Amino acid sequence: MEKQNNKVPLIGFTPQELCSTMQEYGGTSFQAESLMRWIYRKREKDISTFSDIPKAILQSVEQSYTVGLYPPKESKRSDDGSVKYLFAIGQNQVFEAVAMSSGNRHTLCLSTQSGCRMGCRFCRTGSIRFNGNLSAGDIINQVLSIPDSKRLNRIVLMGMGEPLDNLKVVNKTLEILTADWGCALGKSNITISTVGLLSELEAFLKSPGCNLAISLHSPFPDERAMLMPVERTNPILEIIKLLKHYPLKKPLRLTFEYVALGSLNLSKNHARAIATLLSGLSCHLNIIPWNRHNAATFQSPTSDELTNFMELLNDAGIPTNLRKSMGGDIDAACGQMAGNAPH
């Protein structure tokens, strides 16, 4: 994160990183955790109000540090109630977050990069220029700076960017989101979505910090490579091997994401091949009807295509859900996020 008024933002810090500074000011590691808890869990923006830390220590901290929250540049509300927030840092980095509610589930879809290097053909983000990784502070700021921050109970890292392409920062973000001194969300209330970069995926699976969603989109390597160029260097067959070698333990969940493209990837052969590919894995398949945008010329599926495809998969023993699309009227649905790029 950038300095604000020549002060270092505390958003994105862990207590361990702040501990030596607190000790210089006469504080303790316990007080470093307390300071972080005020910011992440209580959502306080003014350091001087942290009432369980001595004022002399707070005054010393305030000389060099600030909480560091910054608001979105703009927001748009969909007819379905979802809200898209546009953030900007520096000259070129723009990114978006989308808040969605359904019943008592209040979810925020976060970005981990400005743009994306993966180049998926059906995704609007993949068509724009990559402008860099976000810091842990910039990712957490998306959670803390929106008006409905305190009622959020689910986080999905499915916005702009490939999370495993920024794994070190994403792991730190997950620590902040789940720690008792942090936002204190359960690991099973957070999901990371990835194309499956093999080395980074293996590192994640050895110590998973949340649920995992793998972008599948076709069970056939050649077709998947056409849709997702990353298949050429990170084959889905190798991804499946890793998932079987490092199975997620409950309550964490494994899902596969499957964008439904009309007249392309919804045939009987696709359903049979998916059933074979996912055999032996404890998982669910989420079907996501393609959301239109002007950077690609695919077709949205018909209702008959979706119904028939899902019946084939469920009959084959693959638990399959149709994911409800939200925010399409404000370019906030899955695959439509592009910062301030023209739509």
What one-character-per-residue DSSP string does 183-244 give? T---GGGEEEEE---HHHHHHHHHS--SEEEEE-S-SSHHHHHHH-GGGGTS-HHHHHHHHH
Cα 4 → chain centroid: 26
Residue 66, SS3?
strand
- Find the catalytic residue in 109, 120, 123, 334: 334
d(CA 334, CA 343): 14
Name the token pair of 159.
């916005």
334 annotated active-site: yes
Look at residue 339 and give its three-state secondary structure: coil
Q: What's at 171, amino acid-wise?
A: N
152: tokens are: 């959020």
96 carries an active-site annotation: yes
Q: Which two tokens stand for residue 94?
A: 């723009």
Give 91's DSSP letter: T
Question: Hunting for tokens 């001087």 — which residue is that?
Answer: 48
Query: What is the number of H-type helices and E-type strands within the chain?
Result: 10, 12
CA 116/CA 256 separation, integer angstroms: 20
Cβ contacts of residue 80 below 8 Å, gap of 6+?
Answer: 326, 327, 329
Q: Fill in the DSSP letter of residue 67.
A: -
**Which of 154, 234, 175 has the alpha carbon at shortest distance from 201?**
234
Choice among 96, 200, 231, 305 that is catalytic = 96
Count Cα atoms within 13 angstroms, Cβ side, for 160: 35
Question: 211: closest CA among 256, 155, 252?
Answer: 252
Which residues belong to the active site? 96, 334
